[in-house]
Amino acid sequence: MEPFSCDTFVALPPATVANRIIFGKNSDRLCDEVQEVVYFPAAVHDNLGEHLKCTYIEIDQVPETYAVVLSRPAWLWGAEMGANEHGVCIGNEAVWGREEVCDEEALLGMDLVRLGLERADTAEKALNVIVDLLEKYGQGGNCTEGRMAFSYHNSFLIADRNEAWILETAGKYWAAEKVQEGVRNISNQLSITTKIDREHPNMRTYAKQKGWWDGKKEFDFAAAYSYLDTAKMMTSSGRYCEGYKLLNKHKGNITFETMMEILRDKPSGINMEGEFLTTASMVSILPQDSSLPCIHFFTGTPDPERSVFKPFIFVPHISQLLDTSSPTFEPEDLVKKKSHFKPDRRHPLYQKHQQALEVVNNNEEKAKIMLDYMRKLEKELFRQMESILQNKHLDVDKIVNLFPQCTKDEIQIYQSNVSS
């Protein structure tokens, strides 16, 4: 079982239906880690002398940040995945290779996800933000709360309404691949081979110095910077290959519902179970027609098969997402240093979801009834979102409360099952 084995996917026309780009990610982390769904409005930062505190380190702030919605482990500053008001989506993956991982505290890959979303209005600009910060501050630090030390390098899938970028890193070195059509996925391995559209200026020189590349044969990033046999990459039984197969199976007909089915797939290992499991999931619809809104679905609970994908649309004055926001503990720095102290970070939705699952786990009939109600709620939400995209009509007053109301409806299903 691969720890922290996330999977991120993107499908672009002509692989999708109705000129939409579809983004999806499963975040696979320790089974008892809570992931919250939170919203931060756009902001102007007048006092640029003030530093921004990320998970471990402080960095320079920028004059303006965009509104973001994030799915994140509740103990840290960054995010596993998220979107911004301009339709940029980012998900990251843990990757390892020949370059040693730095244990020193720097920026986490999850911090870079949030920083890319807060500071960029296109996918390529988000890539620029991430690689600039990587150069300036480096990546490193423990990626878990408390009991185990665990660090890694990062890969990122960044998408907007027009294109996607794969960015893969090894320390401060990186390569990027532009994706303009079809399907692409990333898992816990380097996957950029010879199609390199942008790169760290010293990336090849460094590989040559280390003896990872002879300087003669065609440069292959994954082959040089990891131990992969890239010739066998698409035929192995790993989740990267399984994910690619699932995307290809539906090529030409991929919708947001197809992406959710892929994230719910257990035989492939993409919907992970065990000590490391899928703790949260996200799917986004990014229409190429800029007059249509982007729609972002989040679960905020473990196991997408037994969760509800709830929609979020950026509009002004959004209601706070209280039922998916975890309690905060002050000061967080002290909490992080007390390895014996594990605060209860469960938000209201997570608590009700877990209670309901405990009840139905021992009752097959109850489990079926509850799942039927969850799917009915989801289908109705999908119908409403499709109607918005078809009719180009957005009731802003209703959308302000869209995600919070969906969460309340989901909680209602769990409460009635627990009490019945």
Residue positions annotated with a catalytic role: 6
* Residue-level length of the chain: 420
- List Cβ neighbours of 208 (8 Å cut-off, separation of 6 or more): 214, 215
The rounded Cα 30 to chain-centroid distance in angstroms is 15
Q: Do residues 335 and 106 lie in contact, with contact meaning Cβ atoms separated by under 8 Å?
A: no
Name residues whose C-beta falls within 8 Å of residue 398's C-beta, 6 or more positions apart in sequence: none
DSSP letter assigned to residue 107: B
Instruction: Determine the residue type at 135.
Output: E
Q: What is the DSSP string of 40-79?
A: E--EE---TTSEEE-SS-EEE--SEE--EEEEEETTSSS-
Residue 284: phi and psi, rounded to 5, are -125, 140
Residue 389 — left, alpha, or beta (φ > 0 → left; ψ -120 to 50 → alpha)? alpha
Rounded-to-integer distance, Cα 122 and Cα 160, Å: 6
Token pair of 66, please?
């965009």
CB atoms within 10 A of CB 420: 9
Distance between CA atoms of 288 and 294, rounded to whole angstroms? Answer: 9
**What does DSSP assign to residue 139?**
B
